[in-house]
Amino acid sequence: MPRRALVIGVSGQDGAYLARLLLAHGYEVHGASRDAEVVSLHRLEALGIRDKVRLHSISPNDPRSVVQAVDRIRPQEIYNLSGQSSVAMSFAAPAETIESIVNGSLNLLEAVRFIDPAIRFYNAGSSECFGDTGDAPANELTAFRPRSPYGVAKAAAVALTANYREAYGLFACSGLLFNHESPLRPDRFVTRKITAAAARIAAGSRERLKLGNLAVRRDWGWAPDYVEAMWAMLQQERPEDFVVATGVAHRLEDFVAAAFAEAGLDWRDHVDRDPALARPTDIACSLGDAGKAARLLGWTPKVDFHGLVARMLRAEREGAGAVS
């Protein structure tokens, strides 16, 4: 019998790539969103797996909805990728952000505890838990100092997951993933905003791209690489948390320059700085150390920074057929 996995948040970037990976490993994949009847499934369609994923409507904030779904599906593995996913939006909607991430994680952990403690549970943590790392890359022992409502919520969900692992013996772990991008990112994320604008301008648009602080530094990786680490975490003999990162940080200005160069343009001719786009509290540098993942999971990123930018720009220019 194939293993059965439930991916909460299957319609998002990570959910779609993870579903594809699980299918390649022979899993029976069940995907959940708040309303499976109306949610956009264009990412699953772009990857050619829409008809291979069994869809369910689950509201992670509703304990009854979660318990009924887990009891009905009876998965061996649950991947919790749900919740409000934008750092910028979390400042405008902090209560919704915290409720969707913290309560959703709690309800899923409770469902596992009461229905089948043998279920392996993955929680999507975030580099935002660490806040500003400076030039010293964060690892699994680095203290959390979140600087956004999103980061606070993710830190709480990581702590909850660790608590359920220790208190109830669950196989529950968190992946502390640093920024990971792809053509499947929503265009409200700055990386897609940049690559989409570069492609349009190269095609003849006379628009100007407005961006905030170009000096911030981020550890950017390729999303399909990162879902491989998620899966690997649940294949270990014992549950542990892992940082997933490339170990190299680049300025946002570097990302802009690389994207426009891929389009044959000089970014300085097309980009304006807009202070209004800066966040109330921003992180100057976010850098991770994935040494533990390399040692115990055998995981290292396959696509580097310039490969990531080139793939995103190609997808923008060629359409869905270029999605990797």
Q: Give residue-wise pLDDT tens across range 63-104.
A: 999 999 999 999 999 999 988 878 888 988 999 999 999 999
pLDDT at 202 over 60: yes
Mean model confidence pLDDT for the chain: 95
For the segment 268-295, the average pLDDT, to the nearest whole number, is 91
Q: What pLDDT is stored for residue 320 in this prediction?
A: 57
From CA 151, how far away is CA 131, in angstroms rounded? 7
For the segment 277-294, the average pLDDT, to the nearest whole number, is 90
pTM: 0.95
pLDDT confidence tier of residue 275, bands split at 50, 70 and 90: confident
pLDDT confidence tier of residue 36, bands split at 50, 70 and 90: low
Q: What pLDDT is stored for residue 85 in this prediction?
A: 77
Burial class (CB in 10 A: 0-12, 13-18, 19+), 54: middle
pLDDT at 176 over 60: yes
Please provide the DSSP assignment of 183-211 as one string.
TTS-TTSHHHHHHHHHHHHHTT----EEE
Catalytically active residues are 126, 128, 150
pLDDT at 237 over 60: yes
For the segment 113-119, the average pLDDT, to the nearest whole number, is 98
Instruction: Note every long-range contact of 190-196, with CB atoms under 8 Å and residues 24 or more positions apart, other chains counting.
Output: 190/252, 191/220, 191/255, 191/312, 192/312, 194/255, 194/256, 194/259, 195/259, 195/309, 195/312, 195/313, 195/315, 195/316, 196/316
For 57-71, write each residue's pLDDT tens digit: 999 999 999 999 999
Lowest mean pLDDT among 14-18, 142-146, 210-214, 317-321: 317-321
From CA 82, how far away is CA 95, in angstroms rounded? 15
For the segment 258-267, the average pLDDT, to the nearest whole number, is 97
Burial class (CB in 10 A: 0-12, 13-18, 19+), 179: buried
For the segment 155-184, the average pLDDT, to the nearest whole number, is 98
Provide, rounded to the nearest whole percent, the portion of the chain with pLDDT above 70: 98
Q: What pLDDT is stored for residue 322 in this prediction?
A: 65
What domains can be seen in the chain, in order of their start residue?
4-181+221-248 (3.40.50.720), 190-218+249-286+303-322 (3.90.25.10)
Q: What pLDDT is stored for residue 83 in this prediction?
A: 85
Q: What pLDDT is stored for residue 187 in this prediction?
A: 87
Q: What pLDDT is stored for residue 24 in this prediction?
A: 98
